[in-house]
């Protein structure tokens, strides 16, 4: 009798304990999960996008015949990075571009982060014998459109091949000087200064620069670009 009672009592004790334990586990399961930790103020947002410098141009800007890393926009990026500016260079060169086609696609490359525009067109205008006036008008429209959006401009000039005659060559060259005067854009008189006519700095076609030629072009542009980068850095909080 005592042994039977002991076994029965033990069963009751175990059943009671299991019931209490089950009730405890069910209660824990119903407790709300702890709230997720929120990051400190200021850490939950992404950093603002980098300001952009856009190089608008033709096959020279696009880097025809060289690696992209050797084209002058990429060479400019190296100079910019070396001087510690938080700016991204975008290559918007398009082979075959004239001043007219560059004007037509301008809106597609001027997003809100573009702060500086490099205009390097006109070579194909001269090769096709287009009038100096049409080149002037198109380049002027490009520069003014950018400036109206608050974008600073570096304008590069171009020269016509000598076989087109002195009158055409002089008028074509002056078209860029005139735009520079009318807009007060930073001005590089000749994109290919020190490169054109130098066999070791040009590819076999005699038109498109080698990687070393692009490096010289980048240096020419950077001299005019750097003051704008300084001004941009001072304006950026």
Q: Measuring CA to CA, which residue among 80, 111, 90 is closest to residue 230?
A: 80
| CA-to-CA separations, 39 to 33, 36, 46, 197, in angstroms, rounded | 18, 10, 13, 60
Q: Among candidates 59, 164, 209, which has minimal Cα distance to 121?
A: 59
In angstroms, rounded to a whole number, what is the distance separating the alpha carbons of residues 79 and 74? Answer: 9
Residues 6+ apart with CB under 8 A from 91: 55, 61, 62, 63, 68, 71, 73, 74
Q: Which residues contact 55 (CB under 8 A, 6 or more apart)?
A: 61, 72, 73, 76, 89, 90, 91, 92, 93, 118, 120
Where would I find the beta strands (DSSP E) of 143-185?
152-156
- Collapsing DSSP to helix, strand or coil, 88 comes out as strand
Q: Which residues are catalytic?
A: 59, 205, 208
DSSP symbol at 35? P
Q: Look at residues 153, 146, 133 and name the one whose alpha carbon lies nearest to residue 221.
A: 153
Separation CA 129–CA 125 (nearest Å): 6
């Amino acid at each position: 009798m005592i042994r039977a009672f002991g076994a029965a009592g033990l069963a009751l004790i175990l059943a009671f304990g299991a019931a209490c334990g089950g009730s405890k586990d069910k209660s824990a399961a119903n407790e709300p999960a702890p709230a997720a930790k929120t990051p400190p103020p200021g850490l939950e947002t992404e950093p603002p996008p980098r300001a952009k410098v856009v190089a608008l141009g033709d096959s020279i800007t696009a880097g025809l015949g060289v690696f992209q890393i050797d084209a002058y926009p990429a060479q400019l990026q190296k100079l910019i990075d070396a001087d510690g500016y938080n700016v991204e260079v975008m290559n918007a060169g398009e082979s075959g571009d004239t001043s007219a086609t560059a004007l037509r696609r301008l809106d597609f490359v001027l997003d809100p982060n573009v702060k500086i525009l490099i205009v390097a067109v006109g070579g194909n205008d001269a090769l096709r014998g287009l009038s100096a006036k049409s080149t002037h008008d198109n380049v002027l429209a490009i520069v003014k459109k950018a400036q109206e959006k608050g974008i600073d401009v570096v304008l590069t000039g171009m020269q016509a091949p000598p076989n087109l005659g002195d009158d055409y060559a002089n008028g074509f060259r002056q078209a860029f000087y005139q735009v520079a005067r009318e807009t007060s854009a930073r001005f590089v008189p000749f994109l290919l200064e020190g490169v054109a006519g130098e066999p070791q700095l040009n590819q076999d076609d005699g038109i498109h620069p080698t990687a070393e030629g692009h490096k010289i072009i980048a240096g020419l542009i950077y001299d005019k670009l750097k003051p704008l980068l300084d001004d941009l850095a001072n304006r950026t909080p």
